[in-house]
C-alpha cells in the first residue's frame, strides 16, 4: 500500500490543467441539470374557428428601406398580430436593423426599429457586424424577440422582451446555448409554450455539418436543458409542432438535398428520435396548426425561390396534400422566401414572406381559402 503523501507533486501546469478540467466538468454538469419539479408538457393553445371568408386582404408592409427579409409573425395576447423583420444595411443606411409593427384595424402601424447593429454592439459590449433571423413569440404577458448577431467572435443568439406589446423593449442578453461556446447557432422558427411556464426553442448548430437542437428555457430566457434532434443526415432549421401534450413533430431541411428530415418526441422535447424523411416537392419551412386541427406548411415549391406554396397535412403530419401555389414568377429577380405563419384572435390565418428582396408581403385568409378559391 502506497502513502499518497509520499508521491511527488504534479508540475504546476498539470495541476492547473487538472483543476480547469474539474471546474469545466462541474459547469457542464450543472448547466445541463434540468428542473425536475414538473414533467414537461406542451401548453396547447385554443384555436378560434376560422372565418368562412376566402382571401381577406393582401399587400406590402410599409417600406423602411430598399431591402427586407426574415419576417416573423406572432399573435399578441389580445389577438392582434405583430411582426418583426430584418432590414439590411444599404448605401443610404449603414446599419442592419430589426423592425417591428402591429396589424390592427386592417392595416399595419408605422414600423420602428427594435435594435440596430450599433445599438446591439453597445448593449452587448461587443463588435457586431450583422443582425439576422428575428423570431417573435408571445408568452403570457411577455412578447419575446430573439435574433442572431454576427461579429468577430462568430454568430450567437440574443434575446429581449417587451411587457407592453412591443412599445418598449428590455436590453439584449445572449442565449447561453452551451456552457463553453455559443457560436455557429441559427434560429428560424418560434418556440412552443410549456405548461410549467417554460419555452421549448428549436434552433440549429451549424458546426460540423449541422444538426437540430431543442432548448428548454425558463420564463426569463435562461436555458434549463438541451437535447439534440437525430436525423438520417445533416439537417437544419427545425420547425416544431405539438401533436398533443407530450408528442411533437420536428421538420428539418438538409442544406443541399431536397425533402424534409423528420424527428419526433414523445416526451415533450426531452428526447427525440429520427423518423422517415418525406419529399413534398420543395423546401417548406414555416409550420402552423390550423383551426381544423390540420397542419399547414409554407415554403418554396420546386427548385429555387421563384415559387411560394403552402401544403396542408393531417393532424399528425403523416399525410400531405399537393402544394397550393401562392405566388410564382419566372424572371431572374423572382424570389419569394422565408415565410412566417400565425393565427389571430378571430381565427384568420396570416402569411408573411420576403418579396423579391425588396419588402415583406402579407396575406390574410380563412382556412376555407386553402381548400378552394384561386389566389
Name the maximum alpha-carbon separation found in the chain.
87
Predicted pLDDT of residue 43: 94
Predicted pLDDT of residue 50: 83
Does the CA dihedral 207-84-106-110 come out positive or negative? negative
Predicted pLDDT of residue 112: 94
In this structure, are residues 358 and 67 in contact, taking their beta carbons and an 8 Å threshold?
Answer: yes
**CB-count burial class (<10 Å; 0-12, 13-18, 19+) for 173:** middle
pTM over 0.85: yes
At residue 13, φ and ψ (nearest 5 deg) are -70, -30
Instruction: Find the DSSP H helices in 95-177.
Output: 117-124
Distances 46 to 15, 79, 243 between C-alpha atoms, Å: 58, 12, 13
Residues 6+ apart with CB under 8 A from 68: 61, 85, 86, 87, 88, 99, 354, 357, 358, 359, 360
Return the SS3 of 2: coil
Rounded CA-CA distance 138/283 in Å is 27
pLDDT tens by residue, the chain, 375 residues? 444 444 455 455 444 544 444 434 334 434 444 445 668 899 998 888 888 788 999 999 987 766 899 999 999 999 999 999 999 766 555 689 999 999 999 999 999 999 999 999 998 888 898 999 999 999 999 999 999 999 877 788 999 999 999 999 999 998 887 655 556 788 999 999 999 999 999 998 887 678 899 999 988 888 888 999 998 778 899 999 999 999 999 999 876 777 899 999 999 999 999 999 999 988 888 999 999 999 999 999 988 899 999 999 999 999 999 999 999 998 878 899 999 999 999 999 999 999 998 899 999 999 999 987 544
Q: Where do we find the cell 447593429? A: 117
Predicted pLDDT of residue 179: 56
Distances 20 to 13, 15, 254, 294 between C-alpha atoms, Å: 11, 9, 37, 52
Question: Domain extents for the chain?
Answer: 51-66+282-375
Distances 160 to 196, 219, 295, 368 between C-alpha atoms, Å: 21, 12, 29, 36
Q: Which three cell numbers stand for residue 31?
A: 448547466
Predicted pLDDT of residue 12: 52
Sheet holding 359-365, edge to edge: 55-60, 359-365, 349-355, 336-343
Amino acid at each position: 500500500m502506497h502513502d499518497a503523501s509520499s508521491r511527488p507533486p504534479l508540475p504546476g501546469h498539470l495541476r492547473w490543467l487538472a483543476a480547469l478540467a474539474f471546474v469545466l466538468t462541474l459547469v457542464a454538469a450543472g448547466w445541463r441539470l434540468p428542473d425536475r419539479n414538473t414533467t414537461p408538457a406542451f401548453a396547447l393553445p385554443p384555436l378560434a374557428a376560422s372565418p368562412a371568408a376566402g382571401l381577406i386582404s393582401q399587400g406590402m408592409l410599409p417600406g423602411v428601406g430598399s431591402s427586407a427579409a426574415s419576417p416573423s409573425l406572432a399573435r399578441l395576447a389580445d389577438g392582434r398580430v405583430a411582426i418583426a423583420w430584418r432590414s439590411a444595411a444599404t448605401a443610404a443606411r449603414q446599419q442592419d436593423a430589426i423592425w417591428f409593427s402591429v396589424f390592427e384595424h386592417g392595416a399595419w402601424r408605422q414600423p420602428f426599429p427594435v435594435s440596430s447593429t450599433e445599438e446591439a454592439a453597445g448593449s452587448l459590449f461587443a463588435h457586431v457586424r450583422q443582425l439576422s433571423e428575428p423570431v417573435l413569440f408571445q408568452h403570457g404577458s411577455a412578447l419575446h424577440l430573439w435574433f442572431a448577431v454576427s461579429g468577430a467572435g462568430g454568430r450567437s443568439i440574443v434575446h429581449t422582451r417587451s411587457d407592453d406589446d412591443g412599445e418598449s423593449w428590455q436590453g439584449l442578453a445572449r442565449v447561453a446555448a452551451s456552457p463553453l461556446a455559443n457560436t455557429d447557432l441559427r434560429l428560424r422558427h418560434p418556440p412552443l409554450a410549456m405548461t410549467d411556464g417554460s419555452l421549448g426553442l428549436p434552433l440549429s448548430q451549424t458546426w460540423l455539418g449541422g444538426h437540430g437542437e431543442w432548448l428548454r428555457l425558463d420564463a426569463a430566457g435562461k436555458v434549463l436543458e438541451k437535447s439534440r434532434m437525430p436525423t438520417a443526415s445533416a439537417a437544419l432549421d427545425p420547425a416544431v409542432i405539438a401533436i398533443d401534450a407530450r408528442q411533437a413533430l420536428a421538420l428539418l431541411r438538409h442544406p443541399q438535398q431536397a425533402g424534409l428530415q423528420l424527428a419526433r418526441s414523445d416526451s415533450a422535447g426531452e428526447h427525440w428520435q429520427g423518423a422517415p424523411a418525406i419529399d413534398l416537392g420543395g423546401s417548406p419551412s414555416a409550420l402552423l396548426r390550423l383551426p381544423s386541427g390540420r397542419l399547414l406548411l409554407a415554403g418554396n415549391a420546386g427548385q429555387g425561390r421563384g415559387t411560394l406554396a403552402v401544403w396542408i397535412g393531417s393532424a399528425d403530419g403523416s399525410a400531405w396534400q399537393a402544394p397550393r401555389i401562392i405566388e410564382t414568377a419566372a424572371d431572374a429577380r423572382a424570389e419569394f422566401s422565408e415565410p412566417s405563419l400565425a393565427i389571430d384572435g378571430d381565427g384568420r390565418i396570416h402569411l408573411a414572406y420576403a418579396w423579391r428582396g425588396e419588402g415583406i408581403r402579407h396575406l390574410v385568409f380563412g382556412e376555407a381559402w386553402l381548400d378552394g378559391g384561386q389566389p
